[in-house]
Structure 1
Amino acid sequence: MARVSASESAVAPKTGFSESDQSKKITQTESSGDDVQLKKELGLLDGVAIIVGVIIGAGIFVSPKGVLLYSGSIGQAIIVWILSGILSMVGALCYAELGTMIPKSGGDYAYIGAAFGPLPAFLYLWVALLILVPTGNAITALTFAQYLLQPFWPTCDAPIEAVRLFAAVITCVLTVINCYNVKWVTRVTDTFTATKILALLLIVAFGVWHLFKGNTGYFEEPMKGSKTEPGYIALAFYSGLFSYSGWNYLNFVTEELRDPYKNLPRAICISMPVVTIVYVITNIAYFAVLSSEEVLASDAVAVTFANKMMGMFAWVMPLFVACSTFGSLNGAIFASSRLFFVGARNGHLPAAISLINVNCLTPIPSLIFMCVLTLVLLFIRDVYMLINYVSYVEALFTLISISGLLWMRQTNPDAKRPIKVNILVPLTYMLTCSFLVISSIYQEPFAVGIASLIILSGIPVYYVTIHRPIPLLTSISHNINMFCAKLFMCVANQEKFD
């Protein structure tokens, strides 16, 4: 891979927002003309580790409460966990077709853009910028800090200031690691993926031991109290799917995956069944030890489980949860920064975010930008209220992406599709997502309304900054771009979708 001096040849696009930027040529070396691009560092096992590592975060240790609350019974809760895993697998297979047909980083942003054009793609980028990515990263960081600090305040909650400060520190540390070396990122992800699997296996082992002792009373009437209203079913699935969220993150880094046509679908087909099986048996272990009342009364089911079953060794569970969220945050920072990198590369964000460091070959400005957004949300007191909007927005845009798959089969039937799933797969996912979106409108109209307004607010932003950019904003973007290129020793990268 060729390296160049930022001062000699890192002449970045002069505008960061206008559509004309999409025609700018990537900076090349004078000697060889090679493009400066993201390195293909990720193999099959790295891909599996990223998917499993991002999915298994704080969710499985705290979300069983939400699934049980809206399901109403242990039996229905377990069914929701199974179906949530199957639905995520169906969605992941659809994304395997999209990811191999459009082998670009950016995930939904790239697919929506290819199918429906720049405005819908920008709206996804806009809502990801304001809600999806920084909210998820902030909450994961806060969960990590809260569990790691809890042993120092055994009789009460850790001070919120200490939690926020520690969350900010760990976010910055992981950002530095992501800036420096992709291999370091994968090593951290691999290590902590193994740690979180060990934590879940520990829970399963104690649960099985408890069942073998004849403690099956909580399973005698598994369907008692089940809630069958569509709104409650949708909310139960939202809680379950929240724990599975991240199954599409490998699509964000397709350009850094070696042989993506083979490794992307293989990573999906290996990781999703593993996660589903682990989640289901972990929940069975929870429900074998804890009553429904105990689960609903706990904000951290895994810790309550440990306090009941592990005695003097219960302290290891908060440590395991912290390790789990640490690995999940690392994978999320890595993948989500590529989303904004690709958005900037296509002229939908300031061009500085699309720069690549010539030494590390990582999108340092994008990583720093993502870090700043996450830090801002760490210090907003009501950040957890945003969770109510995340599931609806994710379901809506996933629905749009799958619709794009079907649309492109009609409009571009001759496109190269190394993977082509049966038509029933995307149709099944579309119908299920439509049910979840419509039911959430009925059950949570206020949250859905606020999320919809945030999405629609991106339309005027698009026309002011991209479609017909204001010259002042264009000039500011160019100046920031040149400053970042010199400060971070970066050059421009220009691959994009049309």
Structure 2
Amino acid sequence: MPDLPRRIGFWGASAIMVGIIIGSGIFRTPPEVAKYLSDPWVILAFWGLGGILSLFGALTYAELACMYPQSGGVYVFLREGLGRPVAFVFGWTYMLISKPFAAAGIAVVFGENLNRLLDVHWDTRVTTSLLLIILTTINTFGLGLGAGVAKFLTTTKIAALALIVFLALILNKGSTANFTSSPVERSLLLAIAPVMSAILWTYDGWSDVGAIAGEVKNPQRELPRIYLAGTAAVTLLYLAVNAAYMYLMPLSEMRGTDSVAPIVTGRLIGEVGAAAVVVIILVSTLGSTHGSIITGARVTYAQSRDRLLFSFLSRVHPRFQTPAVALWVQLALSCAALWYAGSFQKLADSFIFTMWIFYGLAAAAIFILRIKRPEAPRPFRCPGYPLIPALFILAAGAMTVLLIIDDVNNPDSKGRMVALWLGVLVLGVPVYYVWKRIFPAAATANGSEP
């Protein structure tokens, strides 16, 4: 199968990565975090922890991406480190569940805020579907255009969030008294799972630069810079934004809202500011959805190129040199997820649970490959090895266990979500062996043997 051309540089790839990370989460999750934690300083510590874990993952993945600068990211790391069965199960889950539900979940927030801005009651499923169609069309025309859109959208929303922090500092309309404890019912131990789930959803996207590694120019030099600069910049921005939120609004009030940003901006610069922040949310979710579409199709493309999915999914558009078929199949699955689940929370939960299992497994590949292929070129080596990758793997495992416990104890779910998604994951194993039996060439094509 033809390779995708390398025509995206440091700024374009960084914009795609940061654009995915800064999506709906920073506007929706702070009130959710406040419901579980009583101390503003503890809240900031959790946000810092989320950034550190993401940075540990980014450092680990940077080594793997430089070893294998191919489109696919986590899929490629799993294929090379743990073998094709694990990579297949990831790609199967990612194509059918993780990415469609994530892209649709982010886009739903766009539809909700478009209704709020225009004061209408359009069916968000319709507006969200139209958004997904438009962004998929843009990306079909080429990653150069897609990266250009990503740069514009990412720059706009970073500037807007930075403006909130700046105005909070200079207008002096908040209070340091808000940084005092405000009691909550749940203990800190029981709060870890829902709090970290919400925060890690907000940071998610740091791993997606690996999905477009096959299209990055000079990948051995640029990929580590993209991983590190993007993750570090977002961590600092999130800490500053959350501090500004709590300076302008006490936790007791924050817990009663769905979105903090419009309220605090309204207090800073009036109703015009509240309307402006809705536009910011639209831009933010637009950029995140756009980046999610770009990276998601590259994983499906990579798996198809390895003959682990139907070959038509790795067809490259003859003129625009993009994985057009994978893009439009992803669109169909995203729209199906949207109309099936409907709500943001259901879409987001589906993504969080399925992805963190594989994040930990992909990070384990760094240990396996250092043993199996010690002579392989490593243009970038993970600093702090083996401690940093080990801590990330432990955190990923702990998050998975905590999410299972939290879902089982949730009176609304009673473990149904865990049963559903574990069922899909487990089903991927026999599907792989059936596929390998039907298509024997899939066992060894373009990667490690199972």
Please report the TM-score for the alignment, with normalisation by the length of structure 2: 0.92
Change (3 A) 1:160 1:118: farther
Match for residue 389 of structure 1?
A: 350
Out of 256-265 and 168-177, give the one that drifted further.
168-177
Show CA shifts across 1:393-433 (max 9, x none). Answer: 22111111111211121222221111122211101111222
Change (3 A) 1:274 1:124: same
Aligned partner of 1:496 among 423, 446, 449: 446
Change (3 A) 1:60 1:407: same
Out of 348-357 and 123-132, give the one that drifted further.
123-132
Match for residue 359 of structure 2?
A: 398
Matched, 1:288 2:238: no
Whole-Å separation in 1 of the counterparts to 2:89 and 2:113: 35
Show CA shifts across 1:235-283 (max 9, x none). Answer: 2111111001000111001110001101000112211111011100100
Percent identical among aligned pairs is 28
Aligned partner of 2:301 among 334, 341, 344: 341
The question of whether the paired residues in 2 share the 8 Å contact of 1:231 and 1:442 is answered with no
Match for residue 401 of structure 2?
A: 438
Change (3 A) 1:399 1:217: same
Aligned partner of 1:357 among 303, 317, 321: 317
* Letter of the 1:402 counterpart: A
Cα distance, 1:495 vs. partner?
8.7
Match for residue 262 of structure 2?
A: 303
The question of whether the paired residues in 2 share the 8 Å contact of 1:131 and 1:386 is answered with no
Whole-Å separation in 2 of the counterparts to 1:39 and 1:315: 41
Aligned partner of 1:111 among 62, 73, 77: 77
Out of 249-258 and 116-125, give the one that drifted further.
116-125
The question of whether the paired residues in 2 share the 8 Å contact of 1:232 and 1:443 is answered with no
Aligned partner of 1:312 among 271, 289, 313: 271
The question of whether the paired residues in 2 share the 8 Å contact of 1:238 and 1:391 is answered with yes
- Tell me how large the CA RMSD over aligned residues is: 2.1
Whole-Å separation in 1 of the counterparts to 2:341 and 2:122: 10
Whole-Å separation in 2 of the counterparts to 1:75 and 1:339: 39
Match for residue 246 of structure 1?
A: 205
Correspondence list, 1:400-479, <5 A: 400-421=361-382, 422-445=385-408, 446=415, 447-464=417-434, 466-469=435-438
Cα distance, 1:203 vs. partner?
1.5
The question of whether the paired residues in 1 share the 8 Å contact of 2:174 and 2:249 is answered with no
Cα distance, 1:39 vs. partner?
1.2
Show CA shifts across 1:177-219 (max 9, x none). Answer: 1011211101100001111012201211232235x45721111
Whole-Å separation in 1 of the counterparts to 2:37 and 2:192: 6
Change (3 A) 1:361 1:238: same
Match for residue 85 of structure 1?
A: 51
Show CA shifts across 1:308-355 (max 9, x none). Answer: 333131211111110111111111111111011111111221111100
Cα distance, 1:227 vs. partner?
5.8
Gaps of 5+ in 1: 1-25, 27-35, 475-493
Aligned residues: 435
Cα distance, 1:225 vs. partner?
4.8
Whole-Å separation in 2 of the counterparts to 1:57 and 1:320: 10
Change (3 A) 1:183 1:458: same
The question of whether the paired residues in 2 share the 8 Å contact of 1:76 and 1:226 is answered with no
Correspondence list, 1:183-332, <5 A: 183-209=144-170, 212=172, 215-219=175-179, 221-222=180-181, 225=184, 229-313=188-272, 314-332=274-292
Show CA shifts across 1:84-112 (max 9, x none). Answer: 01110110000001101122111111111
Shift >3 Å, 4+ stretches: 222-231, 381-384
Cα distance, 1:451 vs. partner?
2.0
Please report the TM-score for the alignment, with normalisation by the length of structure 1: 0.83
Whole-Å separation in 1 of the counterparts to 2:95 and 2:143: 23
Aligned partner of 2:38 among 65, 69, 72: 72
Change (3 A) 1:225 1:126: same
SS at match of 1:131: helix
The question of whether the paired residues in 1 share the 8 Å contact of 2:173 and 2:248 is answered with no
Aligned partner of 2:98 among 132, 138, 146: 132
Whole-Å separation in 2 of the counterparts to 1:267 and 1:349: 29
Change (3 A) 1:495 1:299: farther
Whole-Å separation in 2 of the counterparts to 1:361 and 1:462: 29
SS at match of 2:378: coil
* Letter of the 2:372 counterpart: T
Match for residue 335 of structure 2?
A: 375
The question of whether the paired residues in 2 share the 8 Å contact of 1:100 and 1:419 is answered with yes
Gaps of 5+ in 2: 409-414
Out of 441-450 and 280-289, give the one that drifted further.
441-450
Whole-Å separation in 1 of the counterparts to 2:322 and 2:350: 31
Whole-Å separation in 1 of the counterparts to 2:253 and 2:233: 28
SS at match of 2:316: strand
Whole-Å separation in 1 of the counterparts to 2:173 and 2:143: 47
* Letter of the 1:439 counterpart: L
SS at match of 1:393: helix
Change (3 A) 1:75 1:87: same
Cα distance, 1:81 vs. partner?
0.5
Show CA shifts across 1:9-42 (max 9, x none). Answer: xxxxxxxxxxxxxxxxx4xxxxxxxxx4311111
The question of whether the paired residues in 1 share the 8 Å contact of 2:60 and 2:363 is answered with yes
Change (3 A) 1:216 1:364: same
Change (3 A) 1:351 1:85: same
Whole-Å separation in 2 of the counterparts to 1:214 and 1:197: 22
Cα distance, 1:64 vs. partner?
0.8
Change (3 A) 1:470 1:48: closer
For the pair shown, the structure with the greater C-alpha radius of gyration is 1
